[in-house]
Structure 1
Amino acid sequence: MSAGLSAGTNPGNPNKSFEVVQPPTDGVSSLSFSPKGNYLVATSWDNQVRCWEVNTSGGSVPKASISHDQPVLCSAWKDDGTTVFSAGCDKQAKMWPLMAGGQATTVAMHDAPIKEIAWIPEMNVLVTGSWDKTLRYWDTRQSTPVHTQQLPDRCYAITVRHPLMVVGTADRNLVVFNLQNPQAEFKRITSPLKYQTRCVAAFPDKQGFLVGSIEGRVGVHHLDDGQQSKNFTFKCHREGNEIYSVNSLNFHPIHHTFATAGSDGAFNFWDKDSKQRLKAMARCNQPIPCSTFNSDGSIFAYAVCYDWSKGAENYNPATAKTYILLHMPQEAEVKGKPRTGTGRR
């Protein structure tokens, strides 16, 4: 039986999404789907990295898990779908040969928590971004980084679509790298948003990126100076005078529309080219800290849990259940609409 089918009365799951079984015991910090199958990895504040096999009919089966010494903040898959990378507050990144049933080993170290991690298959390197204000590139067979790149401030977000990489740091810096020359900044931009960056997502065509911030706003930014007239920002994840953080930005792998998820407990689907919201989903009773599409866009996974943004004093263990939910997008929710002839800007 799929628990999600009867979930209509559940304030944690008003969209009747399917619930992943045996979710983490604390908040979820990242979700990552395998590029080669419907294996979903979640990292959590309970120091665990867990993997489930899920399917498009909503079923989920726990497969395996590993532990870190402290809360885990980020995860990424190797492009061949065999291996998971994870990192967090213990200042180390682990490589877990999940599909081979192997043990996790430490492959990267920083001087402060590692906030973001990404595998770059075109370079066969792992990149880690830390609150120690560095970006480090790793050949996982070596114990020292191939290159250490100083950042202007603490790393908060990374997006990679080779050769484009964008790193969001504290103080609203957006550092753009051309990975064909990874040891030099390509461009440094001040965020078009007025407040702290929470998430970034490179366009599928690599011509620019999205940036989301704590003020319930998303910026659409093109890299080419000749395309600057196409840049814009828009408000989302707001309710009256209440403003919520945009926590996650995910492009649909087929239609190239995108999803936003926020601390208001909502997720929405958007088309940046026609500047339209395609679908707004019902708000959950807790924040959505992270979300992701599977490789063909048929499953949208999102976590619903307390995200600690309102501090420990507002944590209520009676209501703070953690969910990982699976939404199966209808084509109308995620397929872009043709631009109207009205010249709307």
Structure 2
Amino acid sequence: MHIQANYSLLPHNTFKVQAKTLYYVEINKQSDILTLRTDLTLGSLPWRIIGDGSNLLFTQDFEGVTIRCTFNKIKIVKEDDETVWISVGAGVKWHDLVSYTVENGWWGLENLALIPGTVGAAPVQNIGAYGSEARDSITRVQTLHIYSGQPREFRNAECDFGYRTSIFKQEYLNKLLVHRVTFRLKKLGHGKPNLVYDPLKNALNDYRKEELTPKHIFDTVVRIRRERLPDPSQLGNAGSFFKNPVVDADYLEKLQADYPDIPSHKTLEGNFKIPAAWLIEQCNWKGHSRGPCAVSGKHALVIVNLGHAKGKDIEELAHLVQEDVNHKFGIHLEPEVMIL
């Protein structure tokens, strides 16, 4: 366990904005929480949980304790001829986990390649891409209560997974620290590719479906992401800044009357999801900057730090984009990024 005071969070956010926390602590096990709570100073302050900060925007310093789980063990907990269950520490890098599963020929996580962040953040955000979500493979989430250290396990159905959300992002935000996550994956020969996302399916047209392996999907997703999205290691960003909005059939019909080419995708509930990037592009924000930050020219859903932006600069740009989309389409864009 490491405790540091007046600590810069610059290394822990992919927007690369400067912010400080009064104390920063890396936690590995249950006893670390119990030890920290006995400290009169640390125990009396507010606590906040972060991972790699790939879905956070810091807009101010934090007068409290920032904690981060560094538990990084991966182990097979059960397997049969067709399926393998792996328990993964919350501190493991997400892309490293996906690479590990692909190297072993296991189906389940390959569509989620190259997503920044940690395994611990995956169930909190219910990360998703290319027709797949973390909840599709998660069977259990093991947590530690940050006040008592008490362990608690959640089965998949208890996690209230939704579109980029979960019980850990809502009811238990900054109350439960994700410690381990268990995934159920299919072995080579017993799983099948998820090709519901058309651009991914089209990129693999040269293969017959039965020829495809997790590695084929993984390599293609990595290539597409690198082509379409700015690299956060080169240009600070947190990926998709906004969620794709959902409207009912009546409102979609009204929009189609004015915008016949508006793209949409029907949800299981019978509503329609509209790409936020398309809405932003129609408001002429793609590639446009405001001060030290900009809407990416590669993808309109991404806001980038051009070099020395503060969190407030990025937040203000996001508000301008929201205002224009709301004015033009009557749709409120909800941030996917957590603004702190």
Decide: shared fold, TM above 0.5: no
- Looking at CA atoms only, which structure, 1 or 2, has the larger radius of gyration? 2
Structure (1/2) with the larger strand percentage = 1
- When normalised by structure 2's length, the TM-score is 0.31
TM-score (norm 1): 0.30
